[in-house]
Amino acid sequence: MSACVRVQATNGDSANDTSSRKKLRVSGQQQHQAKVTVVLGAQWGDEGKGKVVDMLASEADLVCRCQGGSNAGHTVVVEGAEYHFHLLPSGIINPRCKSVIGNGVVIHLPGLFEELEENEAQGLKDWQGRLIISDRAHIVFDFHQQVDQLQELEKGTRSLGTTKKGIGPAYASKAARTGIRIGELVGDYDKFSEKFVALVASHQKIFPALKVDVKAELERYRGYADRIRPYVKETVHYLHHAAKDGKKILVEGANAAMLDIDFGTYPYVTSSNCSIGGVCTGLGLPPTVIGEIVAVVKAYTTRVGDGPFPTELLDATGEILQKRGCEFGVTTKRKRRCGWLDLILLKYTAIVNGYTSICLTKLDILDTLPTIKVCTGYRLNGKEIDYFPSSTSDLAKVEPIYEEFEGWQTSTEGVRSFDNLPLSAQKYVQLLEEYLDIPVKWVGVGAGRESIIAI
C-alpha cells in the first residue's frame, strides 16, 4: 500500500522560493533588453540593403547573414571605394564589427574566397579575426551550379530565370537530408569524402550529363578545409551569449520579401525564407530578441528575371529609371525591369514581416520626372481587391490603380536634411508613411553612406 505524502513548506522555504522566482523574472527582463535589429528588403530585391546595413553597422558589435547564398548582391560605397558582397555580411567593412554567416546560409567556398580577395583589393582590411562561419551552414558545390543550369535548360521557355549559382539545388540537398555542412568538411575528412561521393552519384543518376572529377574535387576541398577551419564556430550558442551579454546584433536579410519561397511570387522566388522567420531559423535566435525591423524600400520598383510585375514600365520612363538608377544586377549583371512604387505590394510584405521603420532609397532617381505615379490599389477582373494575390496568374491580370504626383524636377543629391527636400519629394515620402502606417526614418538620395538622410 502506497501513501501520498504532502510536504508543507516552511516559511523559510516559501520566502526562498519567492525570492528565487523574483530573480528569474528580473533575469528574464534583463535578457530581453538587448534587442536584435533586422534589415529586410521589402520588394523584389536590389533595394539598397547593403548601404543601410553599412550605416547601421557603425554601432553594431555583430552583423549576421541568416539565409540565401551567393545569389544575393549588396553594394556598399565608402569614401569612393565600391564593395560588392554576395556571401559576406556588408558590416564586415566596419573594423570593430564581427560578421557571422549563419546556419541558414548556403556557401560556395570558391566564391567566398574570391569575394574576400576582390574586396581586399578594394580596401577591406583585417577581416581574418572578424569573420565567423556557422558549422551548420550547408555547402554549395560546383556540381550544384551545373545542376542549376541543367534544370533551367530543361524548363526551356518556362525557366525561372535563376542566378544559376546552385542555390536551389543546394537547398534541395539540405531538404533531402543528403547535403553536407561546413562542420563536416572541417571535421572527419574521410566521412566528408564518403558523403561527397554519394551526393555526386545521386545527382548523376538524375542528370547523366553531369560531369564531376571526384578525385580532383576531394583534393581541392581538402585545401578549402584548411583555409576555412579558423573561421568555423558553433554559432547558436555564440549568438545566444552575445545577445545575453547585451551585444548589439544586426541581421542582414538577403534577397527580399517578394522572393521568399513561401510568401513571394511563387515559383519566381528564391529557395529560402527571406522574410522575418528566416532570421530565427537561419541563426537560431528566438523571436523574443528581435526588436527593430527595418524595411528597405526603393522609391520605385525593380525586378530581375521572370514573373508578374503589375507596375512595370515598358516605355521611356522605365528606360529613364533603368539608366539613372544603374539598374543592373550585382550578381547576374542582367538589366533590371523597372516600374512605379507599389504600395499594395509593400502593405502585403509589411503584414508578413511587421516592419517597425522604413529606409526609402534612391529617391534622387526620380529627380528628373515631370510626373510620378504610385500604385495605391489593384483591380482584378474589373473589381477592386484589398489583398495581394497568391496566384501569379491572378497577379499578371491585375490592373494597378494609380495616384499621380507632380515631380520636383530638381536635384536632391546634395540634400542632407528632410526639410530641405523639395515639397513634392516630402509629400511622396509622407504618402508612403501614411499609407503603410510605418515611420520613414531614413531617405537615401545618392550612392554613398553620407547620402542617407535621417528624419
Active site residues: 46, 74, 174
Nearest-angstrom CA–CA distance, 284 and 380: 40
The whole-number average pLDDT for the span 351-370 is 98
pLDDT digits (tens, 9 = 90+) for 382-423: 999 999 999 999 999 999 999 998 999 999 999 999 999 999
Residue 333 clears pLDDT 80, i.e. is over it: no
| pTM for this predicted structure | 0.89
CA atoms within 13 A on the CB side of 244: 8
User: What is the pLDDT at residue 108?
Assistant: 97
Dump the DSSP string for 254-322: -S-GGG-TTTSSTTSS-SS--STHHHHHHH---GGGEEEEEEEEESSEEE-SSS--TTB--SHHHHHHH
Residue 248 clears pLDDT 80, i.e. is over it: yes
Q: Which of 74-78, 173-177, 253-257, 296-300 has the weakest average pLDDT?
A: 74-78
What CATH class has 138-230?
mainly alpha
Residue 403 makes CB contacts below 8 A (sequence gap 6+) with 373, 374, 376, 431
User: What is the pLDDT at residue 25?
Assistant: 56
Nearest-angstrom CA–CA distance, 232 and 137: 10
Known binding residues for Mg(2+) are 46, 73
pLDDT digits (tens, 9 = 90+) for 261-280: 999 999 999 999 999 999 99
Strands 337-339 and 290-298: unpaired
- Identity of residue 355: Y
Domain boundaries of the chain, sorted by first residue:
36-136+234-454, 138-230
pLDDT digits (tens, 9 = 90+) for 61-112: 999 999 999 987 778 887 778 889 999 998 898 888 999 999 999 999 999 9
Mean pLDDT for all residues in the chain:
91
Q: 359-381 b/e with 16+ CB inside 10 Å = b? A: bbbbbbbbbebeebbbbbebeee
Please, are residues 258 and 345 in contact by the beta-carbon 8 Å criterion? yes
Known binding residues for substrate are 330-336
For the record, the C-alpha cell of 5 comes out as: 505524502
For residue 271, which of 390, 138, 157, 397 has the smallest C-alpha distance?
138
Residue 24 clears pLDDT 60, i.e. is over it: no
Query: For the domain with range 36-136+234-454, which CATH number is right: 1.10.1040.10, 3.40.50.300, 3.90.170.10, 1.10.3720.10?
Result: 3.90.170.10
pLDDT digits (tens, 9 = 90+) for 188-229: 999 999 999 999 999 999 999 999 999 999 999 999 999 999
